[in-house]
Structure 1
Amino acid sequence: MRSFLVTARTAALATALTAMVAIAPASASTSTSAPVSASGARELPAVTARAETPALHDDEAGGNADADDPAIWRNAADPGRSLVIATAKEGGLRVYDLDARPVQSIPAPPPAAPDDAPGRFNNVDLVNGLRLPSGRADLAVTTDRGHDRLRVYRIERSRSGGPLTDITDPAAPAVFSANQDEINDQRTAYGLATWTDRATGRSYALVSRRERTSVALLELTPTTGGKVTYRKIRTLDLPDSFRLPNGTSWTPCAEPGALPQVEGMVVDPASGMLYAGQEDVGIWRMRADLTGAPKLVDTVREYGVPATYDEPSDECVPGADPGFGGTRLAADVEGLTLLTEPDGDGYVLASSQGDNTFAVYDRELADHNEYEAGFRVTASSAALDGSEECDGAAVLNAPLGRKYPNGLLVVQDGHDTPADADRDTTGFKFVDLGHVMSAIDD
């Protein structure tokens, strides 16, 4: 989610952090950046969307639906009938076909009581082949921020009534909160990445906490009745303040009481590494089992910039930029997704929300996740715009029938146009992955 934080958009890459944090080798941070235009914007290659979902409106008339995070499910039996499953916050879940047409709409759960927080689906990811009493099944897992829980849906493409069926165990516990009062404070389950350990076959969800630096590891477990629940294995807290090269300490500006949160996350199953976007800090790499020391792969340009929270404007007013930040990411760091290639190579893609671009990093640890390229998703016509202030992204490098034989990239658009009067309008854009790969390779 695009934060209210406003900070400067310039700086060079950070060279030091707190002593408690391990830093990625310098080669991860010294690639030549893209040219900068006279306006200060990076001159990156552009790709255009092939399709877009119907607009969502975050108001009462629109069901408080606000596009956030997508996932791509491949129908192995008929790739052309694959699906995009996406969150719409209080609007619940939306399911689309490859023409970006709605297939199913699932409402978020109601409040536990009239004065309690309503359901709010934040992020979504997939689990392939979880063993249930009835056999193996593909699942969509989402964070319900409103109730501080995960919700789990079985995917069956040809099921009457829609492909998703809720199989969440009613007794599934809150992820972070001890009681309903804490749930109503909404420091609850936020970002999400699923992961199946190749060594054990066990499946997990990594869940971040809103307005906190915590990431929790949950094991997904089926019940004898065919539902799915989870249990917490461990929690890791990322830093909330950082030692700068000039010896001063820096804490990202936020609303009073809030800490720099994580949202976008993805796990590389080949290496067992989790990549996590701490929105106002940068991209971390750590073991997906949350053991060992995290390493900061790259930082946002605003890293190290002092700022003061201004309550009347609900914004952070930046001070002078000391020049310790990165060159490729503009806060917030948002949607992270993994682009794998058949030869074992591939990339980690990150949404640089502050400048409407996407940053591409090598997934190989031997290359220290070196920055490779960047691109934008821009308008192809007056009726089909690009992506601005992107919250979530998903990529699948596999043939998806005649529509997307080269694979698919789906990105959230935080400002869908043409806008509808003063309504907040969002949606998702579908991009031919072949065009993205050409842009990366140029």
Structure 2
Amino acid sequence: MRKIMIPAALIALSACAAAGEKEIPVEQRIANAAPAVSVTARGETEPVGTVNDDAADDPAIWRNAADPKASLIIGTDKKAGIYVYGLDGAKKTFLPAGAINNIDLREGVSVNGKPSILVAASDRTDRMQAKLALFTLDPASATLTRLGTLPVGTGEAYGFCMGVVGGAMHAVVVIKPGKIVDMTLDLSGATPAIAASREMTNATLSEGCVIDDRTSQLYVSEEDVAIWRFDLTQTQPAPVRFATVDSKILVADSEGLAIASDGANGGYLIASSQGDNAFTLYRLPAGDYAGRFRIADGKFGGTSDTDGIELVQGDFGPDYPGGLFVAQDGHNAPHAQNFKLLAWDDIKAAVGVK
């Protein structure tokens, strides 16, 4: 993720071009990009504890089906650990966990024979040895309990996502610059283990990823190049170009990814078009362009330089009746970085999609 320079009028993004080329100001990137409609946030979280630094990174969402207003948001401070927030944005708990970067969760996972909410994250505390950190979430107390840490491989852990493929829990860690490690987890014993592992590769820096549990497709953002799709049902998945970083519809860096399901195999893939502070929607499964939006100033501030995003559909109470979209905000002055909360219904209405 790029650094933010203050004041806001002087926000600049680090160059995606080759060394020696001039940096393109964010204002010019916005002007050159395809139009994006404005949507405002309905809420925001408290700032992360690390100040004056690029710290907040990636969110995950747990929806409380029995009491939607009691749902939880999990967000990483990649310099310090993991926060658990309520829908009001207030911090409930914080777990010091080191340099946790990207995070994801799945509910109803059998952990040591008990149905659990599994939370996992890329752990870059050791920049030479990538690791996967595993936790369970207790929704009643909004606390995380450590399950353990698994070795992933040589290098710095960066992106992360997980999903169910063929009934097995898969965890994908993206190691800088573009090694993609897909692990099948064994959570049946007292300590977690890796049942199987395989590697795929993007040529350059990659981070954001998401697994579509419906189709077993993995989507990975190669930041300055494309969004790639990998079929995890294949023994050795080959990359298929899903969308191109073209400086119009998707502006480098291509960062966080999230999926909006239509209940079948369609819906939308949402990508953070970080280079022009926007978000791009692509129709699934084909990848047709569906629209763009920005999070603008309103009751709460807008977002810029967004890295991690997450979307969970369903009832989250009166403020988010059709689903909750959470986006990291890279510039939340005068406070530290935080996460903005939007209603999925507001985004659909603004973009003009169903």
TM-score of the two chains, using structure 2 as the length reference: 0.87
Q: In structure 2, what is the equivalent of residue 388 of structure 1?
A: 304
The CA deviation at 1:41 is: 4.8
The CA deviation at 1:132 is: 2.4
Q: Please point out which of 164, 171, 174 is paired with 2:144.
A: 164
The CA deviation at 1:127 is: 2.1
Q: Please point out which of 113, 118, 124 is paired with 2:103.
A: 124
Q: Which runs of 5+ in 2 are unaligned?
A: 4-12, 18-27
Return the letter of the residue paired with 2:325: L
Q: In structure 1, what is the equivalent of residue 220 of structure 2?
A: 276
Judged with a 3 Å threshold, the aligned counterparts in structure 2 of structure 1 residues 400 and 392 are, in CA distance, closer, same or farther, namely same
Q: Which runs of 5+ in 1 are unaligned?
A: 9-35, 109-118, 178-186, 241-259, 302-325
Q: Is the 8 A contact 2:309 2:328 kept in 1?
A: yes
Q: Please point out which of 240, 248, 256 is paired with 1:295.
A: 240
Q: Please point out which of 314, 337, 342 is paired with 1:431.
A: 342
The CA deviation at 1:232 is: 4.6
| Larger RCO (CA within 8 A; separation ≥ 6) | 1
The CA deviation at 1:134 is: 4.3
Q: Is the 8 A contact 1:92 1:120 kept in 2?
A: yes
Q: In structure 1, what is the equivalent of residue 151 of structure 2?
A: 174
The CA deviation at 1:133 is: 2.9
SS of 2:328's partner is: strand
Q: Please point out which of 106, 121, 124 is paired with 2:95.
A: 106
Q: Is the 8 A contact 2:84 2:91 kept in 1?
A: yes
Return the letter of the residue paired with 1:175: V
Q: Describe how 1:56-205 pairs up with structure 2 within 5 A.
A: 56=48, 58-59=50-51, 66-108=55-97, 119-147=98-126, 148-159=130-141, 162-168=142-148, 172-177=149-154, 187-197=155-165, 199=166, 201-205=167-171
Q: Is the 8 A contact 1:45 1:375 kept in 2?
A: yes
Between the aligned partners of 1:133 and 1:216, the Cα distance in structure 2 is 24
Q: Which moved more, 1:388-397 or 1:268-277?
A: 268-277
Q: Please point out which of 23, 43, 55 is paired with 1:51.
A: 43
Over residues 169-188 of structure 1, what are the superposed CA-to-partner deviations in whole Å (9 max), with x where a residue is unaligned? xxx442112xxxxxxxxx32
Q: In structure 1, what is the equivalent of residue 175 of structure 2?
A: 209
Please state which structure has a larger fraction of its residues in strand.
Answer: 2
Return the letter of the residue paired with 1:164: L
Return the letter of the residue paired with 2:109: L
Q: Describe how 1:325-340 pairs up with structure 2 within 5 A.
A: 327-340=248-261
Q: Are 2:229 and 1:237 aligned?
A: no
Between the aligned partners of 1:391 and 1:152, the Cα distance in structure 2 is 22
The CA deviation at 1:299 is: 1.9
Return the letter of the residue paired with 2:137: I
Judged with a 3 Å threshold, the aligned counterparts in structure 2 of structure 1 residues 217 and 441 are, in CA distance, closer, same or farther, namely same
Between the aligned partners of 1:298 and 1:344, the Cα distance in structure 2 is 18
Between the aligned partners of 2:69 and 2:194, the Cα distance in structure 1 is 33
Q: Which moved more, 1:288-297 or 1:67-76?
A: 288-297
Between the aligned partners of 1:154 and 1:129, the Cα distance in structure 2 is 11
Q: Which moved more, 1:71-80 or 1:390-399?
A: 71-80
Over residues 287-337 of structure 1, what are the superposed CA-to-partner deviations in whole Å (9 max), with x where a residue is unaligned? 135623211122223xxxxxxxxxxxxxxxxxxxxxxxx521111100000
SS of 2:348's partner is: helix
Over residues 127-173 of structure 1, what are the superposed CA-to-partner deviations in whole Å (9 max), with x where a residue is unaligned? 222212342111111111113211111112113xx4321122xxx44
Return the letter of the residue paired with 1:45: V
Q: Are 2:291 and 1:373 aligned?
A: yes
The CA deviation at 1:55 is: 2.0
Judged with a 3 Å threshold, the aligned counterparts in structure 2 of structure 1 residues 286 and 432 are, in CA distance, closer, same or farther, namely same
Q: Please point out which of 229, 237, 243 is paired with 1:285.
A: 229
The CA deviation at 1:228 is: 2.4
Q: Which moved more, 1:69-78 or 1:130-139?
A: 130-139
Q: Is the 8 A contact 1:266 1:337 kept in 2?
A: yes
Identity of aligned residues (%): 33
Between the aligned partners of 1:173 and 1:103, the Cα distance in structure 2 is 27
Q: In structure 2, what is the equivalent of residue 265 of structure 1?
A: 209
Judged with a 3 Å threshold, the aligned counterparts in structure 2 of structure 1 residues 38 and 131 are, in CA distance, closer, same or farther, namely closer
The CA deviation at 1:42 is: 3.6
Q: In structure 2, what is the equivalent of residue 15 of structure 1?
A: none
Return the letter of the residue paired with 1:97: G
Between the aligned partners of 2:175 and 2:29, the Cα distance in structure 1 is 37
Judged with a 3 Å threshold, the aligned counterparts in structure 2 of structure 1 residues 132 and 38 are, in CA distance, closer, same or farther, namely closer
Q: Is the 8 A contact 1:65 1:91 kept in 2?
A: no
Q: Which moved more, 1:426-435 or 1:119-128?
A: 119-128
TM-score of the two chains, using structure 1 as the length reference: 0.70
Between the aligned partners of 2:70 and 2:91, the Cα distance in structure 1 is 13
SS of 1:338's partner is: strand
Number of residue pairs aligned between Structure 1 and Structure 2: 330
Q: Is the 8 A contact 1:217 1:289 kept in 2?
A: no
